[in-house]
């Protein structure tokens, strides 16, 4: 009997550490997906460095209490899978949201974004953000705009002076 309890404690500790270490977490209901669809989703998540696992709800509830995210308890009903990302905040939300658009059986239930419980709407809003590279590209474009405009104005003045001098 104690062996089963010890095994459960190890799993709860594992889930607890994943919640603590992850930058973002997404909880989904995967009922209705075929094995091949779940495999495809796992593959996409794995390529992005996201771990996707199924845990018993009772064990997940105990882990959630340890990390003080009890707001998730309402969503821990039925078959759930959890996507943990330690590297990219946006990756799990973006991949799961895109997958859910083409597979209606996949339902986003809730999430945790940098230690705060997030609703479905917040997870979907996070998924709609551009990737880190996209955001950096936008920032670079904004930073380059004044320099580019100054260069264009200087060239226009130089061209005008050249025409007047000719």
CATH of the domain at 17: 3.30.70.1730
pLDDT one-digit tens code per residue, 6-41: 888 998 899 888 888 888 889 999 888 889 999 999
Same domain, 81 and 160: no
- The CA-atom distances, in angstroms, between 129 and each of 18, 27, 101, 133 are 24, 19, 16, 11
> In 25-108, where does DSSP find H-type helix?
35-47, 57-66, 91-102
Mean pLDDT, residues 111-130 taken together: 81
Mean pLDDT, residues 55-71 taken together: 87
CA distance 126 to 120: 10
In this prediction, residue 140 carries a pLDDT of 82
DSSP one-letter code for 48: T
Predicted TM-score (pTM) above 0.75: no
Mean pLDDT of the chain: 85
- Residue 75 structure tokens: 């969503």
DSSP string of 88-102? -SSHHHHHHHHHHHH
Least confident range from 60-64, 93-97, 98-102, 123-127: namely 123-127
Partners of 111 in the β-ladder: 26, 118
- Residue 18 structure tokens: 């994943």
Same domain, 110 and 134: no
Same domain, 147 and 65: no
Domain count within the chain: 2
């Amino acid at each position: 009997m104690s062996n089963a309890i010890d095994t459960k404690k190890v799993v709860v500790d594992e889930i607890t550490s994943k919640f603590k270490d992850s930058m973002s977490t997404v909880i989904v209901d995967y009922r209705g997906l075929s094995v091949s669809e779940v495999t495809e989703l796992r593959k996409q998540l794995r390529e992005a460095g996201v771990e996707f696992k199924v845990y018993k709800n009772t064990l997940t509830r105990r882990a959630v209490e340890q990390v003080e995210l009890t707001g998730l308890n309402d969503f821990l009903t039925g078959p759930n899978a959890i996507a943990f990302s330690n590297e990219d905040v946006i990756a799990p939300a973006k991949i799961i949201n895109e997958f859910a658009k083409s597979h209606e059986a996949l339902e986003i239930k809730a999430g945790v974004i940098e230690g705060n419980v997030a609703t479905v709407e917040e997870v979907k809003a996070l998924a709609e953000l551009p990737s880190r590279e996209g955001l950096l590209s936008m920032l670079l474009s904004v930073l380059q705009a004044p320099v580019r405009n100054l260069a264009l104005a200087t060239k226009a003045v130089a061209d005008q002076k050249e025409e007047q001098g000719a």
